[in-house]
Structure 1
Amino acid sequence: MSSSVAAPHDPKAMTHRQILEAMTGLLAALFTALLSTTIIATALPTIIADLHGSQTAYAWVITTALLANAASTPIWGKFADLFNKKLLVQSAIIIFVIGSIIAGVAGNVPMLLAARVIQGIGMGGLTALVVAIIGSIVAPRERGRYSGYMGAVMAVSMSGGPILGGVIVDSPLGWRWCFFVCVPLAVIALLLLQRTLRLPTERKTGVSIDWLGATLLTGGVSVLLIWVSFAGKAGYYAWFSRESALYVGGGVLLLVATVWVESRAKSPIIPLRIVTERTTGLAIIASIAVGVGMFGATTFLGQYFQTARGYSPTVAGILTIPLVIGMLTGSVGSGQLITRLGKWKRFVVAGGALLMVGFGLLSTIDHATSVWRVGLYIAVVGLGVGMMLQNLVLAVQNTVSVHDVGAASSSVAFFRTLGGAIGVSVLGSVLATRVGELSAKAFAEQGIQTTSSGGSNLDIAHLPGPILTIVRAAYGDATGRIFLIAAFATIVAVIATTLLPNRPLRRTIDIDPALDPMHPEAAAPARDPSSAALAHPADEHEPALHR
């Protein structure tokens, strides 16, 4: 169904051309942010080896950006409901550029991690605001086609990023240009936004931000991630120890305090009335599982191809293309079909099932698995991710007023990114531990004396031949276990999506207060008999619904 159907009934609707013009700069900004994440996927082994980092540092280069992204997303989403969205997007780009420059000149791991935090804050703004803006200018029924455009941008950035990163690392430019290359792209996106994005400015009074809730939430999540990253490995502390109890207890107390503060805050960062609504709550659960699988497992694909299989960064990037082809097909295809059919749930559930099957297949790989089989398996994963990623947000946006679309969209994005941060941290810890165990066992069998396990440092290029062979095999054989964990996490997503209410997609930008289950006026009786007709938002001749 084309957007022309909605236009006569909803004065808020923009024409297809106006929407595409507005999306030009938005998608350019989103492309830049996503590219900065994927471009280091194949460069990271070289970066960490050059900076003399460990497997833990490898995981934390990703985790710090995801954590900053997750922690800042609800704040950006709240800002989107209160302030000028165009100015906010431009501010996020500037913050992102600053972080990219610092990362490019980093001389050690701590400085790189600090730069990644700044990058993550900028990326949080871009990912939250792009979705929020699109949600405020396009009706849910028509949003599938535009979500498909977003999916295409994501697919291109995810496919081009690893390849571009590998080429840069293998060229005389060096790995630092993996960060510098994003700067001119961000400036171009900034200029495009200035020219193409036209949004009405609403003046709001009594604006307040729940900084205490944001601080408690960030603190609680950070403490738990630090615990996961350093528990269970030699030289730190055991999973069951006094240190673990202190970390877990402190993290849980901070999160409980977050819920208490959010339930009493005048303007909460994560409105409980939104996240506790059935559709949003189930979408959040599914998004956490998707984040664990998507960010956590795919982060280590580049490492598998380089460290375990011995491919160059460029070739490792090329070998991830099947993942992106699957994402592109799943995202664009499902988006077009949702707009045409008006049905969304079947695609989300199918995406969850494909994701689970794909990770289950990847759990069988080792250091000798055919790259063709690995490519087929990650294509299945990409297809599942593409069918779930934007459609979960669409399901949530369909249930909330346009005035809450920023908070609702950012809540889903927050928990998805949080799941990714947890996934990278947990799977990185599991991988390091497993590599150490397999390496130590193989060294003992060969009678080789070493001072450290194979999982303690990623600078393996200069290892003697026999030791290098053992370490490569250990990394390859250990990788299957992290995909198995990702498969179990995705089972939760399948269950959650199956339980999602199958609500028809409305054709209007906003939702009437009387039909909004989260609005105070929702329980009020209809004021005239004609209101009964509004109970069927999928009706082709639905009247405009406004606040």
Structure 2
Amino acid sequence: MATTTPSGVQGAGSGGGAGDASQNHASASSGPGGAAPMTHRQIMEALSGLLLGMFVAILSSTIVANALPKIVSELGGGQSAYTWVVTASLLTMTASTPLWGKLADLFSKKVLIQTAIIIFVLASASAGLAQDTGMLIASRAVQGIGMGGISALTQTVIAAMISPRERGRYTGYIGASFAVAMVSGPLLGGVITDTSWLGWRWCFYAGIPFAVIALLLLQKTLHLPVLKREVKIDWGGAFLVASAASLLLIWVTFAGDKYAWLSWESYSMVGGSVLLALLFILVEAKAKEPIIPLRLFRNRTIALTSMASMFVGIAMFGATVYLSQYFQLARGESPTMAGVMTIPMIVGMFLSTTLSGLVISRTGKWKIWLCSGGVLLTAGLGLLGTMRHDTEYWQLAVFMAGVGVGVGMMMQNLVLATQNQVDATDLGAASSSVNFFRSLGGAVGVSVLGAVLAHRITDYVDDGLDKLGIKHGGPTGGAGSELPDLAKLPRPIREVIESAYGHGIGDIYLYAAPAALLGLLLVLFVKEVPLKTKPGMSQGEAAAADFLEQNPAFAAGQAGQGDAGDFIPPGYQPARPAPGEGDPTEPLANSQHCVLGTVRNAEGNGVPRAAVTLISLSGRQLGRSVARGDGRYGMDTPGPGTYVLIAAADGHQPQATTLTVGDEQLSHDVRLAATSGLAGRVRGSGDGQPVRAAMVVVTDDRGEVLATGRTGERGEFAFDELVTGTFTLAVNAPGFRPVARPIEVEGQGITRIDVELAAGARVQGVIRAGVDASPLPDARVTLVDAAGNVVATATTGEDGAYGFTDLDAGEYSIIASGYPPVASALSVEGAGPDSHDIELHHPDE
């Protein structure tokens, strides 16, 4: 039977906060058990190391962006080498990302992300020692393995700590770190490259001090539950997906140069890549622990967001990789200035990522950001496709800013939409799957666009030199030649090279724009699902957190209750059967001091895969279990004593029970009440048209508000996780009379109810005064109901007109003043009177 090490809470101090063992509730928030929700301070402490680790990865990648033209030129490489220096890291990142994600579901996330940072740093140092493009490409390939781990694990750890609804708030911090590294990296790399006593090799060494600090911070601040169970890594799947992608990219790189597009080499490579991809799917379908669980793609949202991420990756990496070449080889700028000139795109990315994250946390709405980002990304790339070597910089700045804003809106929010669809056990695999497809798209995009660029530059250079009467044969930057050093070229030839790079790089954006458009079309078909409000801990842990929050006496500890959980005997390891695995005849528990039982629903049937968590009275987690197919569970305990057992399952209300365990096995069944949903539409009673943005409120019999929301474009509303019972549904919207009605939510499932709103009555007219009964401006009009309550007031305009809307039928009085006041009775029925005019006059008139 698979086991898990007991995760005793170490106290908040282990996470960087103040506290000792007596502060048990606080410790439950941040300890390895993760039983209670983490505070903002604890999350920020844990994020510090993660964000610095991500900063190191991005900095080490972007710091060489503006140095690459000089690096490749000094090492004797051409356009193909330039492309592969970028593609190699993207390719290995693509292959390793899902592997890191699967490992995160099986091993310590903390150790894994530290390992990824170490791999990345060592590979960066190796790249700095490179003596030729072959060694540089190999080092970049290893660097990509570390990048895959850092990107996938950072997303996974954040998802484990923070709920999807709140995650947007912290996505802003990620975006800020991302943007700072993106901005400072190219600038720092340009300065280092332009500084003679440093040189480009220090671009690879600069991130090492940051990496050491990140490792120390992670060791001190990051504390997550560690799940240990038997694992089987899908090495075959990782090999097949890497081989399929590599073969495809090699074909794209050399087709049209080493051999024709339509040749036996092309047919062999494309056919081999397709065959390897089919084998990969076959292996994944049969693998016990697939690196990409194919079942995830049965979910429409995950399938669409993954494909959209691939096209975003094509556009995103294509947009950023070749800009440094453009500014240096098409405009003759230094590496430092090339970094400065890309700032508009980075600032746009930073602002959109941060602001969209904050707004998503406030509103819970994320699809509008994906759609808007897709529009801006497509438009920005299309406009960049018009650039030439002499295009005004302010125009380029606007185009780059549009691309940056679009990428910022889409990149993190595609991951958020995916994570919101999966259980905690699949967070790693789902997060890495999105990153996998984005990296795959980036690798394919950079390779394809690089191949197109090489051929376009060659053609443009040949045409330009022909016009000068010069036979082409020098190092002009084609597919097989070295990148040119503009300073060493005669002015006429330099102008030809600059024009060729300006025109050629502009052309590749015309290829990237349709990819972004496809990403936008896929996003349009994604159904917006409300963001979850619980973090990616196990359901049992989340239920335990809720129980401790509602029962502070347990968190404070109870003297004399026999809290055996505060002392864990040496070697104690509670049994935890893996979900859906194991021999059904195998014992559920191993010790005599254990709890056995069945998790049942309201009908008495067993609830499969229910999460069961055992905690001490002081809030310390002692073990977890997952119910078998028939709902049976078992839980070892440290010994006799009093404990709290929490059970939770999808579609059911969590249940917490206090248990006293003696010298024998304790039998205890748990009954979970089903949760239900409420959904419906709001329409106008007259025309039957949907009423959008109507406020819908659900209250209980005590008047407590249970749920609120506004209707969508089609008048639809939906609330999840309502318990069974009788409630009041109230609906109001501008221009309509409010409605309240009782509703009965029964059983598990969705209760549907449609609401019709009647249009509110209106009263309008003109206040007149004087002998000639002319309209009276600035007259005050007061509407009073039959009970004497002031319903509304108005002041007439220059035309003497007034009006009241959204009125209920009934008896009213209208009081007009300005002259001696006049009161008149009014009966409102149906739509109400349109011309209730009132005349005012002095007594002597």
Which TM bucket (shorter chain)?
A: over 0.9
TM-superposed CA distance for 1:277, in Å, is: 1.7
Give a deviation string over 1:439-459, Cα, whole Å, max 9, x none: 111111211012255423213
2:174 aligned with 1:150? yes
Q: Of 280, 287, 293, which residue of structure 2 is paired with 1:258?
A: 280
For the residues of structure 1 that align with 2:370 and 2:431, how far apart are their CA atoms? 17
Residue 41 of structure 2 corresponds to 17
1:495-514 to 2 correspondences below 5 Å? 495-510=521-536
Of 214, 220, 232 in structure 2, the residue corresponding to residue 189 of structure 1 is 214
1:285-342 superposed Cα distances (whole Å, 9 cap, x missing partner): 1101110011122100000000000000000000000011100111000000000011
Distance of 2:459 and 2:131 partners within structure 1: 31
**Correspondence for 1:228:** 252
1:36 aligns with 2:60: yes
User: Matches of 1:373 and 1:476 in 2, distance apart?
Assistant: 14
Q: Deviations over 1:10-29 (max 9, x none)?
A: 95421111111100000000
SS in 1 for 2:179: helix
1:73 aligns with 2:217: no
Percentage identity across paired residues of the two chains: 51
Match of 1:249 in 2: 271
Greater helix content: 1
The offset of 1:202, in angstroms, is 1.9
Q: Give the 3 Å change call, closer, same or farther, for CA 535–196 of structure 1 in structure 2.
A: farther
Once the two structures are superposed, what CA deviation does each residue of 1:165-203 show, in whole Å capped at 9, x if it has no partner? 100100120000010111111111111111111112222
Aligned equivalent of 2:155 = 131
Report deviation, 1:239: 1.0
Question: Aligned residue for 2:138?
Answer: 114
Cα distance change of structure 1 residues 520 and 111 upon mapping to structure 2, 3 Å threshold: farther
Distance 1:89 1:285 in 2: 26
User: Corresponding residue for 2:226?
Assistant: 201
Bigger drift between 337-346 and 269-278 goes to: 269-278
Distance 2:535 2:200 in 1: 44
| Distance change in 2, residues 1:400/1:515 (3 Å) | farther
TM-score (normalised: structure 2)? 0.61
Instruction: Please list, as runs of the form range in 1=range in 2, the aligned pairs for 1:64-463 lying within 5 A after superposition.
Output: 64-172=88-196, 173-204=198-229, 206-233=230-257, 236-452=258-474, 454-455=477-478, 456-461=481-486, 462-463=488-489
Shift in alpha-carbon separation, 1:520–1:321, aligned structure 2, 3 A:
farther
Q: Which has the larger radius of gyration?
A: 2
Secondary structure in structure 1 of the residue aligned to 2:442? helix
SS at match of 2:676: helix
Q: 1:529 to 1:94 in 2, by over 3 A?
A: closer
- Counterpart-to-counterpart distance in 2, 1:520 and 1:38: 49
Contact 1:163 1:318 in 2 (8 A): yes
| Corresponding residue of 1:479 | 505
Q: Distance in 2 between matches of 1:256 and 1:535?
A: 42
Please tell me whether the aligned partners of residues 275 and 411 of structure 1 are also in contact (alpha carbons under 8 angstroms).
Answer: no
CA contact (8 A) 1:285 1:492 kept: no
1:467 maps to 493
The question of 1:531 aligning with 2:557 is answered no
| 1:296/1:421 contact within 8 Å kept | no
Question: What letter matches 1:401 in structure 2?
Answer: D
SS of residue in 2 equivalent to 1:366: coil
Return the letter of the residue paired with 2:535.
Answer: I
Query: Is 2:675–2:722's contact at 8 Å kept on the other side of the alignment?
Result: no
SS in 2 for 1:82: coil
What letter corresponds to residue 334 of structure 2 in structure 1? S
Q: Which has the higher contact order (CA 8 A, sep 6+)?
A: 1
What is the SS of the residue equivalent to 2:675? helix
Q: Which amino acid aligns with 2:262?
A: F
Compute the TM-score of the two structures, normalised by the length of structure 1. 0.93
Do the aligned partners of 2:651 and 2:721 also contact (CA within 8 Å) in 1? Answer: no
Alignment CA distance shift 1:321-1:41 (3 Å) = same
Shift of 1:544: 12
The equivalent position to 1:55 in structure 2, one of 67, 73, 79, is: 79
Structure 2 match to 1:3: none
The 3-state SS of whatever aligns with 1:219 is helix
- For 2:58 and 2:722, the matched residues in 1 are separated by 36
Q: Which letter maps to 1:245?
A: Y
RMSD, aligned α-carbons:
2.6
Q: 1:197 to 1:448 in 2, by over 3 A?
A: same
What letter corresponds to residue 186 of structure 1 in structure 2?
Answer: A
Cα distance change on mapping 1:333 and 1:107 into 2, 3 Å: same
Partner-residue secondary structure (3-state), 1:386: helix
In 2, distance between residues paired with 1:45 and 1:534? 59
Q: Secondary structure at the match of 1:532?
A: strand
Which amino acid letter does the alignment assign opposite residue 524 of structure 2?
T
In structure 2, what is the Cα distance between the partners aligned to 1:482 and 1:306?
17
Kept in 2: contact 1:287–1:416 (CA 8 A): yes
Q: In the superposition, relative to structure 1, how do residues 35 and 531 fare at CA in structure 2: closer, same or farther (>3 Å)?
A: same
Q: Distance in 2 between matches of 1:260 and 1:381?
A: 38
* SS at 1:503 equivalent: coil
Q: Distance in 1 between matches of 2:489 and 2:278?
A: 48
Q: Which segments of 5 or more consecutive residues in structure 1 lack a partner in the other structure?
A: 1-6
* Structure 1 residues 400 and 295: CA distance shift in structure 2, 3 A: same
Alpha-carbon deviations, 1:197-254, whole Å to 9, x = none? 11122222x2111111110110000000000011112xx0111111111110111100
**Distance in 2 separating the partners of 1:411 and 1:292:** 16
Q: Is the 8 A contact 1:52 1:459 kept in 2?
A: no
Cα distance change of structure 1 residues 55 and 514 upon mapping to structure 2, 3 Å threshold: farther
Q: How far, CA to CA, are the matches of 1:146 and 1:207 in structure 2? A: 32
| Counterpart residue number, 2:579 | none
Mapped contact 2:677–2:721 kept (Cα < 8 A): no
Q: Distance in 2 between matches of 1:344 and 1:223?
A: 37
Which is further off, 51-60 or 504-513? 504-513
Secondary structure in 1 matching 2:273: helix
User: In the alignment, is the contact (CA less than 8 A) between 2:78 and 2:477 conserved in 1?
Assistant: no
Give 2:378's aligned amino acid: M
Q: 1:24 to 1:430 in 2, by over 3 A?
A: same
What letter corresponds to residue 120 of structure 1 in structure 2?
G
Do 1:324 and 1:382's aligned partners in 2 also have CA atoms closer than 8 Å? yes
CA distance in 2, matches of 1:544, 1:131: 30
Aligned pair in 2 of structure 1 residues 539, 282: CA closer, same or farther (>3 Å)? farther
Question: Does structure 1 conserve the Cα–Cα contact (< 8 Å) formed by 2:477 and 2:484?
Answer: no
